[in-house]
């Protein structure tokens, strides 16, 4: 201990920060945030990984404690910490359960930023992470090129051969292969820069956020979203040059890349006055609505941006965030005006974590499903538990993800619904794989895809 | 027979013991790395104490073997559920093995016709309720932590909750227990019958805070969900009006299912989180629930409203549906956590007084708070006089913490003067052992010690709990700040502020 014990809180805090912390300044979990955790434990049973393993280290309370211990110099930022933080799905169910208002998502993203800065992962892991977060996701051209290769594999018969030959099983890849999205025949890129007119009286003018990977695998969903918005009186602009939202990078702790993408998006979407900016991806929406945090006081300190740049970006974020809406949230606020035809279906809904826990939106998607005449809505048990998709989690932690998926499909099947509706492309891929692997014979749709089928479009 | 009490001081677990544990439990069921131990040094309380290893049994047979090894290596054992307790009950005060029951979480049987269930100790309270609900039943004890806490923990602490007023505490809902004794014997007490022949041992073991045996299976009584429920929110401009209402309701012979009070200060913290429609400008509210047969519920609700109005309630709201009711309860059950929004560190007390003394006790709490420079929030099970004053303090200031503890002690002393007790439902654990002599004479305590020693003579199970340690009453364990590089070599117990 250097010198006399600290006299005031401020001195003590400074001493913590300067001499003890295992974190470095900038994008670090902060005392003000982690100390809100009063370790009451109410989050434990809401956490998917704690429910699986029942180990405190893999619970929200335990993960926050590890951050506190590192910040206070009692634990080192080493392999153990990295393992437990990597295993977190960042589903944020703990935030919904937490009575003290701990912003866990913010904490874990910052913990990951610290790992990114201060921990040396094995060479192969580093190479893959660098490629995905720093090169692939930021460049639509690279995504398109990759997509064409995968499409060739899927449609040339190679995939059938790989499956039939047992090669995938031999390589232990059959589960991951089931998660591989079906690449679209036509990509969404051709819609960039276009404006889609409102049907009937124009009630709103909105910008559509198209996503990155979604543009090569969810063209149909994006088209359906635009159609539903049009049918309900929205003029939909799809700004060209828009970028990936940065969610995957931010979740992985690659915050400089996320910040770069955020800056590009804010410039483009704020160029014209829109009533709202719409996304159909809950995961993207959650990050887009949290752009302010990427430019908070301490963000990127000692690194990639000057104070002036940060302040300017923080200003833009303050303007951008209030406009950002999930499509379900926006449609409920606007009110459906397009007529809906009857659909005799039994439907259940799987909460997308980043809609429910990230954006605190629970009722909007359920209201939209119930709005369709003839639909019988059946709530599934534990609908608020993650399906195991969790961004890239199903690829990085496949075994855990598949365990969660198996439980999810059991609950989904118990509702006897023929359609599982959800609100995020990642969840759709995961649940579709689940329906196939567990042969539940259920169709998986996004809320707006269900609405699109029910909407009477006048064309 | 004379037993020598064990003295546990070493910080490193015997390697042979660890490898034997790993051999039969498997490597993933034994934690012993320093960074894992640091995550089991806390629970929901302000106490800390570090274990030397954590094990995860899957069955009673595993527990028998763990106890056998602990005996052979003279190592203490502490049982743990979810670690949500508020008195340090699940902490290894003298080191040793923490036996986490979290993976023994199967509901073995729900016998709806006979209104009982058999569960493993790690089953989460609300999971059991969810499973019983389809049969129209529930497990009545409803601690505020019920979304996370385990039935095993409820049994050990004899947990209460808001509905304790009408339904009683955990012990009233336990029919039988399977337990592993400190000698390693597997025994069963009670059974499925309502009144088992022989001694009522369940009454002795429920609430023994893990000092007598390790529970491995529990037969619980399930209670029929009431036909009708009404939840009232009475809003007061004067705190006295609320406390006087409570005295009169019970005085009239009405037993509500629950009767909770939140003062204005706490309400504002809670409302910021749940948006239940708690009025922000009021001095206090009572949350009163009546349940039972439809006609009786209507009648009681009416009568209660009248009493509230007589004592100056400016408004009495009745929750219109289940959703509104849930929202009101969500506010109450998460109140402590919501206070965390105001201050990361606070000290919740758990005192009991006869409910007729509520008005004067609240005034005294207010006076004690002012004298010591604290604003004290009050939230409590008013119906059964179980107080939970909340003292906010700043953990980074050791002097303030010392003052918070002495303030809390002053409140508890007053409770005892009023004819009350030092804990209503959180347990004694390692938080209140030093206060036990205020309530019990040497002879009283000696009797309790004899009970413990009859089952747990060597102090193998959960040592250092309930009974004053003899280090002097009023001693406060203060450890305001973690020190540099304090890893596994730090003093293993103290107060927690991380």
Domain B346-426 indexed as CATH 3.30.70.2740: yes
pLDDT at residue A57 tops 90: yes
**Helix (H) or strand (E) segment spanning residue B180:** strand B174-180
Nearest chain B residue to A55 by CA distance is B102
Mean pLDDT value across residues B26-30: 96
Confidence band for A301, pLDDT divided at 50, 70 and 90: low
C-alpha span between A31 and B216 (Å, rounded): 39
Q: What separation in angstroms does the CA of A27 have from each of A79, A214, A256, B68?
A: 20, 29, 10, 49
Q: For A82-113, write each residue's pLDDT tens digit.
A: 999 999 999 999 999 998 889 999 999 999 99
- As given in the structure block, the two tokens for residue B379 are 């939230």
Q: What separation in angstroms does the CA of A8 have from each of A11, A44, A327, B400?
A: 5, 34, 49, 12
Nearest chain A residue to B270 by CA distance is A99
Query: Rounded to a whole number, what is the distance in Å from the CA of B37 to chain A's nearest CA?
Result: 10
Confidence band for B497, pLDDT divided at 50, 70 and 90: very low
Query: Rounded to a whole number, what is the distance in Å from the CA of B2 to chain A's nearest CA?
Result: 39
A25-39, B173-187, B476-490: which range is least confident on average?
Answer: B476-490
Q: Provide ipTM, 2 decimals.
A: 0.89
Structural domain spans, chain A: 9-118, 123-179, 188-331, 339-454
Residues of B in contact with A5 (CB under 8 A): 481
**Helix (H) or strand (E) segment spanning residue A179:** helix A174-179
pLDDT at residue A2 tops 70: no
Task: Pick A40's closest partner by Cβ from B100, B145, B484.
Answer: B145
Nearest chain B residue to A36 by CA distance is B344
CATH number attached to the domain at A9-118: 1.10.1060.10
A interface toward B at CB cutoff 8 Å? 1, 5-6, 9, 12-13, 19-20, 35-46, 54-57, 62, 65-66, 68-69, 72-75, 78, 80-81, 97-101, 381
- As given in the structure block, the two tokens for residue B36 are 């894992």
Query: Are the beta carbons of A57 and A66 closer than 8 angstroms?
Result: yes
Q: For B39-57, write each residue's pLDDT tens digit.
A: 999 999 888 899 999 999 9
Query: Are the beta carbons of B427 and B87 closer than 8 angstroms?
Result: yes
Give pLDDT, residue B485. 36
Task: Pick B44's closest partner by Cβ from A39, A62, A72.
Answer: A39
Q: Which residues, other chains included, contact B26 with Cβ-Cβ below 8 Å and sequence gap of 6+? A: none
Mean pLDDT value across residues A10-39: 79
**Helix (H) or strand (E) segment spanning residue A345:** strand A345-349
Q: Do B38 and A72 touch (CB under 8 A)?
A: no
Q: Do A65 and B487 touch (CB under 8 A)?
A: no
Nearest chain B residue to A50 by CA distance is B102
Q: Which residues, other chains included, contact B345 with Cβ-Cβ below 8 Å and sequence gap of 6+? A: A35, A38, B46, B392, B393, B394, B395, B497
Q: For A197-223, write each residue's pLDDT tens digit.
A: 999 999 999 999 999 989 999 999 999
Class of domain A339-454: alpha beta
Nearest chain A residue to B102 by CA distance is A54
Q: For B429-463, write each residue's pLDDT tens digit.
A: 998 898 899 999 999 999 999 999 999 999 999 99
Residues of A in contact with B346 (CB under 8 A): 38
Three-class secondary structure of residue B469 per DSSP: coil
Mean pLDDT value across residues B351-364: 90
Fold of B228-339: Alpha-Beta Plaits (3.30.70)
C-alpha span between A126 and A116 (Å, rounded): 10
Query: Rounded to a whole number, what is the distance in Å from the CA of B202 to chain A's nearest CA?
Result: 28
Confidence band for B219, pLDDT divided at 50, 70 and 90: very high
Give pLDDT, residue B472. 39
Q: Do B147 and A20 touch (CB under 8 A)?
A: no
- As given in the structure block, the two tokens for residue A318 are 């303050």
Q: Give the closest residue to B266 by CA, choosing from B322, B348, B160.
A: B348
pLDDT at residue B336 tops 60: yes
Max avg pLDDT among A141-150, A284-293, B488-497 = A284-293
Beta-bridged to residue A347, according to DSSP, are A377, A419
For chain B, report the end-to-end CA distance as a whole number of angstroms: 44
Two domains, one topology: B228-339 and B346-426 = yes
Give pLDDT, residue A161. 81
Query: Are the beta carbons of A388 and A88 closer than 8 angstroms?
Result: no
Q: What is the DSSP string of A415-439?
A: TT-SEEEES-HHHHHHHHHHHHHTT
* CATH number belonging to the domain at A188-331, selected among 1.20.1050, 3.30.70, 1.20.1070, 3.40.720: 1.20.1050
Dihedral through CA A26, CA A32, CA A34, CA A35, nearest 10? 150
Q: Do B38 and A9 touch (CB under 8 A)?
A: no
Q: Do B344 and A12 touch (CB under 8 A)?
A: no
Q: For A232-262, write each residue's pLDDT tens digit.
A: 999 999 999 999 999 999 999 999 999 999 9
Give pLDDT, residue A171. 66
Query: Rounded to a whole number, what is the distance in Å from the CA of A64 to chain B's nearest CA?
Result: 10
β pairing state of A234-237 and A195-196: antiparallel
Give pLDDT, residue B177. 97
Q: Give the closest residue to A155 by CA, choosing from A198, A176, A184.
A: A184
Q: For A349-386, write each residue's pLDDT tens digit.
A: 999 999 999 999 999 999 999 999 999 999 999 999 99
Residues of A in contact with B482 (CB under 8 A): 69, 72-74
Structural domain spans, chain B: 1-225+431-482, 228-339, 346-426
Class of domain B1-225+431-482: alpha beta
Rg (Cα) of chain B, in Å, rounded? 23
Q: For A395-449, write each residue's pLDDT tens digit.
A: 888 899 999 999 999 999 999 999 999 999 999 999 999 999 999 999 999 999 9
């Amino acid at each position: 201990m250097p010198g006399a014990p600290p006299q005031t809180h401020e001195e003590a805090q400074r001493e913590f920060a300067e001499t003890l912390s295992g974190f470095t300044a900038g994008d670090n979990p902060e005392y003000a945030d982690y100390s809100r955790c009063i370790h009451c434990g109410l989050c434990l049973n809401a956490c998917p990984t704690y429910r699986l393993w029942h180990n405190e280290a893999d619970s929200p309370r335990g993960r926050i404690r590890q951050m506190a211990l590192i910040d206070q110099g009692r634990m080192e930022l080493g392999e153990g910490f990295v393992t437990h933080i990597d295993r977190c799905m960042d589903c944020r169910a703990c935030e919904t359960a937490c009575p003290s208002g701990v912003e866990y998502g913010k904490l874990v993203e910052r913990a990951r930023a610290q790992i990114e800065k201060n921990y040396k992962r094995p060479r192969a892991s580093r190479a893959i992470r660098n490629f995905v977060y720093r090169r692939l996701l930021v460049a639509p051209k690279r995504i398109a090129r990759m997509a064409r290769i995968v499409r060739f594999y899927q449609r040339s018969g190679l995939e059938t051969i790989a499956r039939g030959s047992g090669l995938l099983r031999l390589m232990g890849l059959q589960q991951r292969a089931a998660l591989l999205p079906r690449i679209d025949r036509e990509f969404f890129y051709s819609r960039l820069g276009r404006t889609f007119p409102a049907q009937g009286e124009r009630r709103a003018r909105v910008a559509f956020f198209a996503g990155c990977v979604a543009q090569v695998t969810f063209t149909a969903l994006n088209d359906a979203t635009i159609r539903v918005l049009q049918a309900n009186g929205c003029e939909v602009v799809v700004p060209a040059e828009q970028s990936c939202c940065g969610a995957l990078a931010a979740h992985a702790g690659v915050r400089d890349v996320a910040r770069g993408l955020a800056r590009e998006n804010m410039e483009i979407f704020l160029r014209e006055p829109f009533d709202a900016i719409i996304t159909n991806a809950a995961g993207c929406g959650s990050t887009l609505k949290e752009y302010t945090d990427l430019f908070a006081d301490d963000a990127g300190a000692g690194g990639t941006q000057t104070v002036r740049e940060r302040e300017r970006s923080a200003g833009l974020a303050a303007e951008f965030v209030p406009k950002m809406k999930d499509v379900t949230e926006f449609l409920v606020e606007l009110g459906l005006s397009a007529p809906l035809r009857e659909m005799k279906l039994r439907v259940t809904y799987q909460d997308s974590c980043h809609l429910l826990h990230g954006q605190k939106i629970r009722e909007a998607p359920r209201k939209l499903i119930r709005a369709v005449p003839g639909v019988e809505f059946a709530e599934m048990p534990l609908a608020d538990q993650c399906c195991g998709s969790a961004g890239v989690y199903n690829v990085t932690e496949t075994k855990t993800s598949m365990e969660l998926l198996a439980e999810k499909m059991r609950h989904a099947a118990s509702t006897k619904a023929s359609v599982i509706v959800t609100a995020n492309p990642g969840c759709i891929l995961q649940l579709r794989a689940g329906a196939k692997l567990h042969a539940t014979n259920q169709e998986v749709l996004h809320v707006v895809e269900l609405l699109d089928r029910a909407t009477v479009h006048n064309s | 027979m004379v037993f020598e009490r064990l003295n546990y001081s070493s910080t490193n677990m015997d390697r042979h013991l660890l490898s034997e544990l790993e051999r039969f439990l498997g490597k993933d069921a034994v934690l012993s790395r320093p960074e894992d131990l640091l995550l089991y040094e806390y629970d929901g309380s302000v106490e800390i104490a570090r274990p030397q290893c954590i094990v995860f049994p899957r069955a009673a047979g595993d527990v028998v073997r763990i106890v056998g090894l602990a005996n052979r290596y003279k190592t203490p054992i502490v049982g743990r559920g979810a670690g949500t307790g508020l008195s340090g009950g699940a902490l290894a005060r003298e080191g040793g093995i923490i036996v986490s029951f979290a993976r023994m979480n199967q509901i073995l049987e729900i016998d709806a016709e006979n209104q009982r269930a058999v569960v493993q100790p790690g089953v989460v309270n609300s999971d059991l309720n969810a499973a019983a609900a389809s049969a129209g039943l529930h497990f009545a004890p409803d601690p505020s932590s019920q979304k996370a806490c385990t039935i095993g923990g409820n049994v050990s602490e004899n947990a209460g909750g808001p509905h304790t007023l009408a339904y009683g505490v955990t012990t009233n809902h336990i029919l039988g227990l399977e337990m592993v004794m400190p000698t390693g014997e597997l025994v069963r007490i009670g059974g499925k019958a309502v009144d088992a022949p022989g001694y009522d041992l369940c009454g002795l073991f429920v609430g023994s805070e893990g000092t007598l045996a390790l529970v491995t299976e529990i037969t619980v009584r399930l209670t029929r969900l009431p036909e009708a429920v009404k939840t009232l929110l009475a809003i007061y401009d004067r705190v006295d009006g609320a406390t006087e209402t409570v005295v009169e309701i019970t005085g009239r012979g009405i037993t509500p299912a629950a009767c909770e009070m939140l003062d204005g200060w706490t309400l504002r913290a809670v409302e910021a989180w749940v948006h239940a429609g708690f009025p922000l400008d009021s001095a206090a509210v009572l949350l009163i629930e009546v349940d039972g047969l439809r006609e009786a519920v209507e009648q009681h609700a009416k009568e209660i409203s009248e009493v509230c109005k007589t004592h100056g309630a400016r408004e009495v709201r009745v929750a219109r549906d289940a959703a509104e009711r849930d929202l009101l309860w969500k506010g109450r059950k998460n109140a402590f956590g919501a206070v965390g929004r105001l201050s990361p560190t606070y000290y919740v007390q758990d005192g009991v007084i006869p409910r007729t003394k509520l008005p004067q006790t609240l005034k005294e709490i207010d006076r004690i708070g002012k004298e010591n420079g604290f604003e004290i929030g009050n939230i409590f099970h008013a119906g059964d006089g179980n107080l939970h004053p909340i003292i906010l303090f700043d953990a980074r200031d050791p002097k303030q913490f010392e003052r918070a503890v002495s303030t809390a002690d002053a409140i508890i002393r007053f409770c005892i003067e009023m004819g009350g007790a030092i804990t209503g439902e959180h347990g004694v654990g390692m938080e209140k052992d030093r206060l036990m002599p205020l309530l019990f004479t040497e002879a009283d305590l000696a009797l309790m010690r004899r009970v413990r020693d009859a089952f747990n003579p060597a102090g193998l199970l959960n040592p250092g709990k309930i009974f004053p340690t003899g280090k002097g009453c009023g001693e406060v364990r203060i450890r305001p700040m973690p020190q540099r590089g304090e890893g596994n070599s730090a003093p293993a117990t103290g107060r927690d502020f991380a």
